[in-house]
Chains A and B, each alone.
Chain A
Amino acid sequence: MISNATRKRVTPLPYLLILPTAVFVALFTAWPVLLSIYQSFFLQRMNIARFREPTFIGWGNYVNLFTDPYFIQVIKNTLVYVLGTVPISILLGFLFALLVNRKVRGIGFFRLAFFHPMVLPMVSAATIWLFLFTPDYGLFNSTLRFLGYTGPENWTGNPNLALLSVIIVAIWKNSGYYMVFYLAGLQNLPEDVYEAAALDGANGWQTLWKITFPLLRRTTLFISTVAFIDSFRTVDHIFVLTSGGPSRSSTTLLFDLWLERFEYQDIGTAAAITVIFVLVLMIFTVTNFITSERKEA
């Protein structure tokens, strides 16, 4: 009886220790999200005197958003951007990691070369690319021309290329970052598995896809989550390169959120976009986690 009671008693120490984190998460994550959900049901526009006080409009903001062709275009742009950046930058990160995971003299230089875009602030990186993208003499266009490209050269001003140009910059910027995680993963892989594979006569390709890649699954899970979230929350280069244009062809969800909140001062719509934003990220993260944990079993 007594021993049972002791076992059941709650020990407060662990809870106390997570209290600071819990407070910060509640204050800076949970509370803003709850507030956004609440605000998203109200019409509130700071720059119209009679709409400055919030009025309840139910699902109005959401209905407006999903019937607005602009917002549909923003969703499409975001999808293209995410699908364009995430898989390719992860794949490139993996390849770079394989390339530099060897003991050669001066390998540090190559690792640095792949990694350095990550060290640059996004705004600086985008400014550099602004000049690389310059028509005529810009390095990017000169190189493409040398390879036989004859298409349009005003990358950031062309409605069909503007989104692609911000994707290119994001891939260039992030691949090196993901490489570092893969490199760390690769260097932690057990040697004996490879020895066994070599004894069994596995070729390089088989070793790569049957051993290395599966063993790095947790790294891939981590990187894909980070990459996905990152692709939603980077906007700096869009500000510098295209300002979301031309004709909104490179406006993504977060850029649109900034427009609604700070350019149009439309708090209700901005809150609705925030809710959509958080939902998408949560669904992805949870699904990603669940599916990969299931594979584990």
Chain B
Amino acid sequence: MTKRILYQLFAVFLILGLLIGACAPTQEPAQEVPAAAEEAAPAESAGEEAAVEEEAAMEPVTIQVFYPVAVDAPIADILNGYIADFEAEYPYITVEPVFSGGYADVQTAIQTTVDGGGEPPALGVMLATALYDLINADYIIPLDGYISEMDDGDAFVADFLPAFLDNSYYDDQLWSIPFQRSAVVMYYNADMFAAAGLEPPTSWQSWADAAQALTVKDGDTTNWGLHFSSDWPYWLFQPLAIGNGQNILEDDCTVVFDDPAVIEAVQFYIDLSEVYGAMPPGVQASWATDPTDLASGATAMITHSSGSLAGLLAQADFELGVMPYPGKEEGTYASVPGGGNFYIMKGAPKEKQDAAWLFVEFISRPEYVADYSINTGYIAHRYSAYDTDAMVAYVADVPQALDTRDALQYAGAELAVQNLGQVRGIFHDYIQRAINGEMSAADAMAAAQVEADAALADYCP
């Protein structure tokens, strides 16, 4: 009898022990402290010694950076290199990069952490357009305090290409710092253009004519003049509307869908297929395959992210042209920026936020901006980066890198509004109905406007 009770007690303790073992937080950070202090001790040059001593006195701090991988480049390796440089300069800070999937996954991971009552990472790379959702949910802090503490904060901000700061401001405060930025561009096979005696297009009309001329039927298959994906349509579509003089948004509370210029832009997309026969009919779910199709000669032009430049250059055995979309009127052009910014999380302790800012400042140095651009295909987002030796040499070799930057002078703001997910979903829904011929362009945009206005009503009294 006693034996049995003992046995049962033993079982209980075993189970409890297992549970506690599984749930207890790991104690590793405590062990890292002496290691960090040791590293800080042997300073090399006399000049650094003073700075290092000062920093060694700082409390060691470990920050996490959640980042996505959205392009075909070894982002993890590149970031680890920068982090090693950063930690050498700030020995008391340890940066843990956390790869978290795509942009949506980073945001989801941070949301679930904060909503679940946990401490978010100090720093996250999320879409520039996520701004309002992040502010409304109270996840992020404004960065003006850090900027004003800098020796020359205004110059620091002014050095960023202005198109990339479009979605960083709200309520006259700066909330994010550009990091991996891109733009919508049109890529074309310059050899095909030359062979057909065509010039790069300068208007909607010459664009459509070129696409038509370069469409070749070959038995069962067609080599289309243009691939223009519409499976996630707002981004690639925006430059069409901008090129017709009307962006699809005015401010965070106002979208412009039901407008003659926007409807005409939707109709132009449809006409490229229906009237000119230069593009496959219906919604083209071809974002993933378009670069390959251009590189293999299956199409003469694609609309895509500037981020695909490096991959295209590596694959294409022809002269690759890069330009903004032609606008409707002769000699006008259009583009729209995209990509991700750094956000500092509100839920992180002050010392981690401060460390995160130091990292942002560090990685925004021209030499790192240039290096990141060269290695990933993102557009170097600071003017000073283009003066670095590395960038000068790269641009001499790859002049297209300047074309992507120059496309930005024709850029309008990317769709970033209150309640973005829902408003964007509504726009996608209706523009795809128009493209698939389920509704006329005018009806679709009118319906989208009504629904989007309703979806914005709660946010914009």
CB proximity of A242 to chain B, nearest CB, Å: 7
4 shortest A-B CB distances, which residue pairs?
A263-B421, A157-B283, A157-B285, A246-B432
A interface size (C-beta, 8 A): 44
- Given the known interface contacts A20-B18, A46-B136, A248-B429, the answer about A130 and B289 at a Cβ–Cβ threshold of 8 Å is yes
Q: Which of A231-284 contact B (CB under 8 A)?
A: 241-243, 245-248, 259, 262-265, 267
Contact A136 B230 (CB under 8 A): no
A246/B419 contact (C-beta < 8 A), A137-B298, A157-B284 known: no
Question: In the complex the two chains form, is A157's CB within 8 Å of B230's CB?
Answer: yes
Known A-B contacts A47-B419, A52-B138; the reply to A247 vs B108 at CB < 8 A is no
Q: Are B430 and A136 in contact (CB under 8 A)?
A: no
Contact of A154 among B107, B138, B285, B421 (CB under 8 A): B285
CA distance A51 to B280 in the complex (A): 44
Return B353 CB to nearest CB of chain A, in Å: 21
Smallest Cβ distance from A81 to chain B, in angstroms? 18
Is A127 engaged at the interface, CB distance under 8 Å to the other chain?
A: yes
Within 8 A of B (CB), among A150-165: 152, 154-159, 162
Mark out the residues of chain B between 260 and 304 whose CB falls within 8 Å of any chain A CB in the assembled complex. 280-286, 288-289, 298
B77 within 8 A of A: no
Interface status of A199 (Cβ within 8 A of chain B): no
A13 lies within 8 A of chain B by Cβ: yes
Cα A130 to Cα B287 with chains together (Å): 10
In the complex, what residues of A have CB within 8 A of residue B436's CB?
Answer: 157-159, 246-247
Q: Is the CB of B136 within 8 A of A17?
A: no
| CB-based contact A154/B288 at 8 Å | no
Partner-binding segment picked from B8-16, B53-61, B325-333, B363-371? B8-16
Q: Which A residues fall within an 8 A CB radius of B?
A: 12-13, 16-17, 19-20, 23, 45-49, 51-52, 127, 130-131, 133-137, 145, 152, 154-159, 162, 241-243, 245-248, 259, 262-265, 267
Could you tell me if A247 and B429 are in contact, using CB atoms closer than 8 angstroms? Answer: yes
Q: Which residue of A lies closest to B299 (CB)?
A: A136
A51 touches B11 (CB 8 A): no
Could you tell me the distance between the alpha carbons of A50 and B422 in the complex, rounded to whole angstroms?
A: 18
Q: CB within 8 Å of A: which residues of B?
A: 7-8, 11-12, 15, 18-19, 104, 107-108, 111, 115, 132-133, 136-138, 220-222, 230-232, 280-286, 288-289, 298, 418-419, 421-422, 425, 428-430, 432-433, 435-436, 438, 458-459
Q: Are B222 and A136 interface neighbours, CB within 8 A? A: yes
A20-B19, A46-B111 known; A131 and B137 CB under 8 Å? no
Given A12-B8, A16-B8, also A246-B221 (CB < 8 A):
no
Contacts of B459 in A (CB 8 A): 48
Measured between alpha carbons, how far is A51 from B419 in the docked complex, in Å? 13
Q: Select from chain B the residue with minimum beta-carbon distance to A156.
A: B285
A154 and B283 within 8 A (CB): yes
Q: Which of A51, A52, A262 has the most CB of B within 10 A?
A: A262
Give the Cβ gap from B300 to chain A, nearest Cβ, in Å. 14
Contacts of B432 in A (CB 8 A): 159, 245-247
How far in angstroms is the closest Cβ of chain A from B125?
17
14 further interface pairs, Cβ-Cβ under 8 Å (given A154-B282, A245-B428, A247-B428): A12-B8, A13-B8, A17-B11, A47-B418, A48-B419, A49-B136, A130-B288, A131-B288, A145-B220, A157-B436, A246-B285, A259-B421, A259-B425, A265-B137
Asked if A245 contacts B136 (CB within 8 A), the reply is no
Instruction: Please tell me if the beta carbons of B282 and A158 are within 8 angstroms of each other in the complex.
Output: yes
Do B232 and A243 have beta carbons less than 8 Å apart? Answer: yes
Closest chain A residue to B229, Cβ basis: A157
Residues of A contacting B280 in the complex (Cβ-Cβ under 8 angstroms): 135, 154
Q: In chain A, what residue has the closest Cβ to B419?
A: A47
Which residue of B is nearest A46, CB measured? Answer: B137
A247 near B430: Cβ-Cβ < 8 Å = yes
Residues of chain A within 8 A of B298, CB atoms compared? 136-137
Give the complex CA separation of A133 and B459 in angstroms.
40
**Bound form: Cα–Cα A20–B436 in Å:** 54
Select from chain B the residue with minimum beta-carbon distance to A131.
B289
- Contact in complex: B221, A134 (CB < 8 Å): no
